[in-house]
Amino acid sequence: MTLFTGPAADCRLCPRLVEYRRANQAAFPDWHNAPVDSFGSLDARILFIGLAPGVRGANRTGRPFTGDYAGDLLYSSLLKYGLARGEYRADPDDGFELVGARICNAVRCVPPENKPLPSEFKACLPFLSQELAAMPSLRALFAIGRNAHEVALTTLGLKKSAYPFAHGAMHELGKGLILVDSYHCSRYNTNTGRLTEAMFHQALETLLDSIKS
Ligand code: SF4
């Protein structure tokens, strides 16, 4: 098993994101404003993959999906299905824990307008690859959004055309690993009705049913 430590706090592989981090550091010196480490144990069976930190969410708090609407839906859902314990209070010091699950982002620094560039996905991809290699019990990936789905496939060297993204779809990737897709649990998607809480729960149920045995 390989050791995984994630990117350095001052990772400079993406010039645009480094510049944005600096601007946020100047404007909000109390915020995290650095690559956001994954949350949860490397011994987890499930890896949830998001897009990137939100500027006032994980980029502020330093924990994935913490401090913005997407985290409210994600973490309440993980609690419902026994994949977390404690009380989520949108604060990394809340003592909230994941159970058999880990959460990362495809791009680990906050991008302007929540939109990473293709070059930024590519630059950050080796960290996901190293993370997967360091998870000996990994059975399932849960892609939170189409971008996460595509990054997961690219990381594993699999063809996107063979595994089309669809909300609630389950893909068998070989070697006992599965991938389940969901629309991103963003406020925009829930406000527009693209994703309801029931739909998100249905995708999580597909995930859990798929790794029951
Ligand atoms: Fe480094 Fe990833 Fe941040 Fe780019 S997004 S600067 S590769 S940690």
Say which amino acid occupies 18.
V
**Domain ranges in the chain?**
15-210
Identify which of 18, 33, 120, 155 to mutate to test ligand 1's pocket (most ligand atoms within 8 A of the CB).
120
Helix H or strand E encompassing 46: strand 46-50
Interior CA angle at 66 toward 171 and 113, to 5°? 80
Q: For residue 151, what is the enclosing H or E element?
A: helix 146-155
Q: Which amino acid is at 16?
A: R
Q: Whose CA is nearest to atom 3 of ligand 1?
A: 109
User: Ligand 1 mean position to 208 CA, how many Å?
Assistant: 31
Backbone angles phi, psi at 102, to 5 degrees: -140, 150
Give pLDDT tens digits for 56-81.
999 999 999 999 999 999 999 999 99
| ipTM of the complex as predicted | 0.99
Compute the half-sphere exposure of residue 155: CA atoms within 13 Å on the CB side of its CA.
25
Cα→Cα distances 213→1, 139, 146, 169, 209, Å: 24, 11, 27, 19, 8
User: According to CATH, what is the number of the domain 15-210?
Assistant: 3.40.470.10
Residue pLDDT, tens place only, 74-130:
999 999 999 999 999 989 999 999 999 999 999 999 999 999 999 999 999 999 999
